[in-house]
Structure 1
Amino acid sequence: MSDEFVTRSLDEIRFWSRIMKEHSLFLRLGFRCEDTQLIKEALEFQAIFEDIERRAHAYPSNTDPQTIRDFNTEVHTAVTRIWAFKRKVLGLILTCKLPGQNNFPLLVDHVSREANYFRNRLEELNTGRLEPLPDAIIDENVFFLKIMADHAKFISHLLDPSERKLVEQAREFSNEFDTLMFQAVDLSSMRPQSQTVPLLSQFVDENRVSVKSLRDFKKTARDLIEECRIKSIIHPLLADHVFREAERFLFILDMFDQSLSGVKVNKREILF
């Protein structure tokens, strides 16, 4: 269990610290030139999470668990700070105190939800308090399906309006994932009676098919943006960022599918 704890902790931190670092960059690029204090804070968070990411990659898999437990606590503090920063920015936008800035309110809320998810994962790892598998399946899907729906909305709004076909495809994905997310919420509200293997298996299978399609769309968009073959204001790193998050969701869905199919995979092995 100590090896699993170290491996899972480092995997989570390596993935999500990069995400937090990139969030800092995206927020900074959306601020106005005169927002010097916010820009300064975003730069500081970018440096903090770049350092955390570097250190996470430097730890070997046989690191002493207590060292990693302490590292998790340190990272948790940093994530709590960036979560508070993101919520502060959201408040400023919603009270019209940053007129003319370019960060969508939904995007700022989105990145704060991801910070809160990361923070909760670190707490789970350090305390060892893990959800039963049926609860994990529903809760992970509710979280990630909304993330995927948000991504589709961002893509449709950041593509040039003249890219009509791609914009329409992104809008269709937005509607599809809104529907899937609401289905997940319905399944969640029916707990525990809804947590049968047949229902959860169908739930995972249906979502996985849709996530694969969205993942492939994101990959195509990322490649076209990198090759300057379509018109958009999407930063190439943002295109890759949302692709990696879809890949992450697919990995989790695959693990859930294996477990529900009878392969000996449990919540601890999937998320711990």
Structure 2
Amino acid sequence: MNGDDTSLHADTGVTSGLFVERSLNEIRFWARIMKEHSLFLRLGFRAEDTQLIQEANQFYRLFEQIEQTAHSFNNQTDPEQIRRFNSEVQQAATNIFIFKRKVLGLILTCKLPGANNFPLLVDHVSREANYFRKRLIELNEGKLQALPDAIIKENVFFLRIMADHAKFIGHLLDPSERKLVDVARNFSNDFDQLLFQARDLESMRPQSQTVPLLDQFLDQNRVSVASLRDFKKTARDLIEQCKIKSIIHPLLADHVFREADRFLEIIDMFDAHLTGGSSQPG
């Protein structure tokens, strides 16, 4: 996907009120995600990686400030002010994307031996930064994908995110948590298959973009995402209660739960549009 607005009714742009609402919704959600990425990356650096730690801390403070500013605005804020804010946030998202790719390069060239950030995790968080960056660009330009394109592209993006989450959970649980590791592995396999199906549907466009096919596509994905979301919630609660053994930070457990919950909201909103409803994600 990477950047197709999920609030569109059609391919005709947005009203100023919807523009403000969607911009604030995206920034409030993703600025918090970017802030938390900064923390997770910092926790994975070695003590001697002082420059990287300092950069991560700077990004944490930046996105914390962005998040606070976004909450100071409301749906009646002047659209031009929001447009300028979107541009500022888009630049911040671009900068953290560059930082994350730099970290990935250092890991893959073995320049951070002993650090604790998986390469796939760093790639994962950089994909989310790129998604956020492109979303803001498209909102400011008023360029929205047609609904069938947006449905497929958004699901391709988020299904891969969910597959990654399952893999991370499986690797960060203690190996002695054998049953939970198996559950995470099964979710990983399930979402890999859903992702392959989504990419097949994508490659068959535009012929594949019929209402029955897209409706079934959303329904099938919803079942698996809801199941994964519930598993993440259970894991989060168990981690917070110190009932399972892992090296998963409690905030990371909540972080991946929130992303699954957002994907479910997006699926439901798409389904409402597809079947003639008018639901908007909150």
- TM-score if structure 2 supplies the norm length? 0.94
Q: Distance in 1 between matches of 2:20 and 2:45?
A: 37
1:5 aligns with 2:4: no
Q: Mapping of 1:16-55 within 5 angstroms?
A: 16-55=30-69
Which residue is equivalent to 2:102? Answer: 88
1:139 aligns with 2:153: yes
Could you list the structure 1 runs, at least 4 aligned residues long, displaced by more than 2 angstroms after superposition.
none
From the two aligned structures, give the one with the greater helix fraction: 1
Q: Which residue identity is paired with 1:228?
A: C
Higher relative contact order (CA 8 A, sep 6+): 2
Per-residue deviation, 1:86 = 0.1
User: Residues 190-245 of structure 1, C-alpha deviation per residue, up to 9 Å, x if partnerless?
Assistant: 00000000100000000000000000000000000000010000000000000000
1:185 aligns with 2:199: yes
Q: Distance in 2 between matches of 1:59 and 1:192?
A: 39
Q: Distance in 2 between matches of 1:192 and 1:55?
A: 40
Per-residue deviation, 1:264 = 4.1
Q: Distance in 1 between matches of 2:132 and 2:220?
A: 25
Which residue is equivalent to 1:126? Answer: 140
Q: Which residue identity is paired with 2:100?
A: K
2:175 aligned to which of 158, 161, 164: 161
User: Residues 93-127 of structure 1, C-alpha deviation per residue, up to 9 Å, x if partnerless?
Assistant: 00101000000000000000000000011011100
Which residue is equivalent to 2:209? Answer: 195
Q: Distance in 2 between matches of 1:6 and 1:245?
A: 22
- For structure 1, list consecutive stretches of 5 or more residues without a partner in the other structure: none
Decide whether the 8 Å contact of 2:265 with 2:281 is kept in 1: no
Q: Which residue identity is paired with 1:179?
A: Q
SS in 2 for 1:70: helix
RMSD of aligned residue pairs (Cα, Å): 1.1
1:241 aligned to which of 255, 267, 270: 255
Per-residue deviation, 1:262 = 2.3
Q: Which residue identity is paired with 1:180?
A: L
Q: Distance in 2 between matches of 1:62 and 1:10?
A: 11
Q: Which residue identity is paired with 1:257?
A: D
Per-residue deviation, 1:260 = 1.9
Per-residue deviation, 1:261 = 2.0
Per-residue deviation, 1:30 = 0.1
Which residue is equivalent to 1:258? Answer: 272
Which residue is equivalent to 1:210? Answer: 224
Q: Which moved more, 1:165-174 or 1:255-264?
A: 255-264
Q: Distance in 1 between matches of 2:186 and 2:157?
A: 20
Per-residue deviation, 1:60 = 2.0
- For structure 2, list consecutive stretches of 5 or more residues without a partner in the other structure: 1-14
Per-residue deviation, 1:270 = 6.4
